[in-house]
Amino acid sequence: MTEFRVRKPDGWKTVSFPDTVDSISVAGGQVDGQLCLTLTGEWEDGPRIVETGILDVNESDEHLLENTVPRTEDGTSVVLDRLLPE
């Protein structure tokens, strides 16, 4: 299993994808009107695996993704940056 530490609204969690997925990507979007990140695992012969409601991915796990988490100059995920009070 490929595991990621992700930050959700209720704290840091671990999400897993089977080793048989061909790639795992991150995308930004909205779920129930709330900005969040989504991890998507894709493989040739199966349905996508989707994990929604993510605020951040642990930077030490980011190398496992096909693309990078959108971050501000100080390294904060864009999603968290938009939620944090100024």
pTM (two decimals): 0.82
Task: Catalogue the E-assigned strands of the chain.
Answer: 2-8, 11-17, 23-31, 34-42, 49-54, 56-57
pLDDT in tens, 16-30: 999 889 999 998 877
CB 22 within 8 A of CB 42: yes
Domain chopping of the chain, boundaries: 2-67
Two tokens, residue 80: 């968290």
pLDDT in tens, 20-74: 899 999 988 776 777 889 999 998 888 889 998 899 999 999 999 999 998 999 8
State how far the Cα of 67 lies from the Cα of 63, in Å rounded to an integer. Answer: 8
